[in-house]
Structure formats: structure tokens, C-alpha cells
Amino acid sequence: MKVVRNIKYIVIHCTATPGNTTIESIKRYWKEQRGWGDTPGYHYIIERNGNIVQLLDEKKNSYGVYAHNSECISIAYIGGIGKDGKPMDNRSDAQKHAMFDKIVELTEKYKGVEVKGHRDFPGVKKACPSFDVKKWLSEYEPDLGNAL
């Protein structure tokens, strides 16, 4: 029997780590500290240089948003906290460009989905992704280069 996911949300996360954290150390944390085995917290993770790494097939549930994982595609950027450990939008320009492009791609693929931050779900008591996703999307001007 084939299970088809009903995707309702594209969810933006931060890793709540310093910007120089490696994907391998994040995966190790999920496995050893969270006990998630090999299932990641996100489908995609965006490195400081804007490189997007797919961690999980979109057909599978990640551990992105408790009680909503079956209806979400999760994207995270490496970062989200300052040197003091407090929430901070410290995305690089490359991460912002890559995030915007990935959101556009996924909203075209999954018609009618809502894009929201992790913190925008009921009962979530964390700052993730350390910025207001809807406000950012309404104000962001992508660099179209010579496209015009």
C-alpha cells in the first residue's frame, strides 16, 4: 500500500546552532541526544554558503513539527542563535537566496500550501526560525540578476 502525504505546510526552521556547525554534528545530535535514529529533523538544510542538502525524501516524515510531521516539508538554515545563545536571525545572504528559491520551488510543487515558521504552530514555545517568516516573505526582494 502506497502512503501519500497530504502536504499542507512548508515549514522554515533554524538549527539553533552556531553558523559554522556541520550537518554531520547535527545528525549525530538527533541520533544520540534525541534518539531519532536516522530520521532527520528536516527534509532540507541550507549551509552558510547557500548550498542546499536534502536529508530526507519528501515522501517521508521528518521530525520537524510535533503532531504535524505528516503534513509538512521542513527546511532549516544552519544558524539561528547569536554568540550569547539567544535567538538571532543570522542567515547569510546566500542562505536567504537559497531559502527563497526552495520555498518558490516547493510552493509550485505543492499547490495551496502555507509557508510558516516553526514557532507559528500552536503550542510551540521556541523562537525557531528566529525571524518572522511571513513578514520576511512579504518584504524579500530576490536578486533576479539579469533576468529582466
One DSSP character per residue, 96-139 reads HHHHHHHHHHHHHHSTTPEEEEGGGSTT--S-TTSS-HHHHHHH
Catalytic residue among 126, 134, 135, 140: 126
Catalytic residue among 9, 96, 116, 128: 128
Cα 130 from Cα 38, distance rounded (Å): 26
Q: Is 13 a catalytic residue?
A: yes
Catalytic residue among 9, 13, 43, 44: 13
Catalytic residue among 9, 42, 44, 77: 42
Cα 130 from Cα 19, distance rounded (Å): 13
Cα 94 from Cα 100, distance rounded (Å): 10
CB-based contact 36:29 (threshold 8 Å): no
Q: Beta-carbon neighbour count of residue 78 at 10 Å?
A: 25
User: Which set of grid coordinates corresponds to residue 20?
Assistant: 559554522
Q: Is 126 a catalytic residue?
A: yes
Catalytic residue among 43, 96, 102, 118: 118
Among all residues, which ones are annotated catalytic?
Answer: 13, 42, 118, 126, 128
